[in-house]
Amino acid sequence: MKEDERVIRMSDLRGWTPSRPSYGVVGWPVSHSLSPAMQRAALASLGVEADYLAFEVRPEELEAALDAMGKAGVLGLNLTVPHKALAAGLVDELSEEARLAGAANTVVFGDGGRRVGHNTDARGFARAIREEFRMSLAELKVMILGAGGAGRAIALQVARERAERIVVANRTVERAEALAREIAPIFLDEKLVGQAARLRAVPLDPAALAGEVDGVDLIVNATTVGLRPGDPSPLPAHLLRPHHLVYDTIYNPARTPLLEAASEAGARGANGLSMLLHQGALSLELWLGRPAPVEVMRRALRRAAG
């Protein structure tokens, strides 16, 4: 098996030297990732002689793995679940986006293995919404389900783009409230009347959601509910309306319970494949300093997703 087709584990990294200039994705697990198919197609399209590898690394191994990759001359990495927050504390420098998000999904290696962490999830999400629904976040009232890593990055982007309204819902309401307080300074103008209604934090339960859902346009699932067979929809189906736009950051399965419910309600929905595409394109541009071949990457993703 060629090196770029196998999963590389921590035991393989000890004394490892790549056969060509290399980039990669780090996760636990990682074999399901569609990033290799997308990024390999992009590198080939650009005529870049490099590999894009899959590294399966446990959270407790991440620091040692990053050290080993830096010494081996790896040029850049994507980080996926569960490493994004941990990686933010294991780099030498964080971009402003990564610092605000508290997570790094992209690492650029510099001289001597110096690591700079970036976060392309937020801008990738904004591009995905514009592409899927032909609307910008500034035009929308947005409900975000989940205040964890993905929800945090999305909430920050929605606030930066000055959406009309933001509702953050989380199972532990204190976490939703903390996120709302954090984004308030960049979202609210204290001189305007009615600010309390523009930014809300509520528990992720049917009664609380019912009181808010008719006042939003875009519903975003930033939880992991829908990943596993038998999962319910994170938002009760009866709360969805035909006017809603529904975006599920999960892309496998392609039709989650939330998207099935949206379809039954007559609402427009999309899965997270477009966010994966655009965050990956932004990562590639950080590594190479040139525009990414987005359409090539899109076709490769669709083939890989089946």
- pTM score, whole prediction: 0.93
Domains of the chain: 3-119+279-305 (3.40.50.10860), 122-271 (3.40.50.720)
Q: How confident is the model at residue 1 (pLDDT cuts 50, 70, 90)?
A: very low
Mean pLDDT of the chain, nearest integer:
94
User: Residue 196 has what pLDDT?
Assistant: 55
pLDDT at 137 over 80: yes
- pLDDT at residue 81, rounded to an integer: 86
- Rg (alpha carbons) of the chain, rounded to whole number: 20
What residues are annotated to the active site? 84
**Residue 301: predicted pLDDT:** 97
How many other CB atoms are found less than 10 A from the CB of residue 69? 27
Q: Is the pLDDT of residue 216 over 50?
A: yes
Structure tokens at 35: 């990033």
- CA atoms of 38 and 300, how far apart (whole Å): 5
Q: For residue 83, is pLDDT > 70?
A: yes
* pLDDT tens-place string over residues 171-196: 999 999 999 999 999 898 754 445 55
pLDDT mean over 150-171: 95
pLDDT digits (tens, 9 = 90+) for 239-285: 999 999 999 999 989 999 999 999 999 999 999 999 999 999 999 99
pLDDT tens for each residue of 31-77: 889 999 999 999 999 999 999 999 999 999 999 999 999 999 999 99
Does residue 292 register a pLDDT over 90?
A: yes
Separation of alpha carbons 192 and 197, rounded Å: 11
What is the percent of the chain with per-residue pLDDT over 70, rounded to a whole number?
96
Backbone angles phi, psi at 18, to 5 degrees: -70, 150
What pLDDT sits at residue 15?
87
- Look at residue 164 and tell me whether its pLDDT is greater than 90: yes
- Compute CA distances 229 → 51, 196, 256, whole Å: 33, 38, 9
